Amino acid sequence: MFHVKRFVQNRMVKGIFLIYFISFVFGSCAVSRTGYQIDDYYISENGKEIIGTKPLNAFIFENNVTNLPFEQFLALKFKLNNLLSREFWITINGSKYKLIIYENSEFDKYFGYSNFAAVNQENLTNIVGGQSKFIAISVINEFNEDCLSDKSMLQNVVTVYLKNLKDEYIKIK
């Protein structure tokens, strides 16, 4: 009787050891994928689709989650009636442009949070509201053209404007 139990017990120990060994081998071979770190800003493709356009490009930057939410900053800066406006018109050098701000779920849908890595990490107690770690903005002109596209003649003007807007937002306290 002891001989049979010992034989079954050895097979079980070997089987458990083999399972752990195989999981260790597969786990060590898995490649960890790090996200892209955004130093200043990044222009990404495959954003929202507006009627009559291809997927828009988006200006993406890392949010300062210790500041007031970006939407509130924009509402105060542009004197908007709604503090949570996600789309509104602005004027740059006499021309009208529509800013389209992505929500958290839209950012994850179009660009994916796993594709980006935050440089500045904050404790949960320091974060104001339920802010996203990254902010994405698309811009179209009054003719429904993507202003952040590589083919657009307005890309430089809009990019400089958005960079200045980002810098102004990041520096407020």
| Domain extents in the chain | 1-32, 36-171
Question: How does pLDDT run across 85-136, given as a tens digit for each residue?
Answer: 899 999 999 999 999 999 989 999 999 888 887 777 665 555 566 688 899 9
- pLDDT tens by residue, 140-169: 999 999 999 999 999 999 999 999 999 999
Read off φ and ψ for residue 31, nearest 5 degrees. Answer: -95, 125
With H, G, I as helix, E, B as strand and everything else as coil, classify residue 97. Answer: strand
Split at pLDDT 50, 70, 90, the class of 16 is: confident
- Its pTM stands at 0.75
Q: What is the pLDDT of residue 27?
A: 66
Which positions ≥6 away from 97 have C-beta within 8 Å?
A: 89, 90, 91, 139, 140, 141, 142, 147, 158
pLDDT given at position 164: 97
Q: Given this model, what pLDDT does residue 56 score?
A: 95
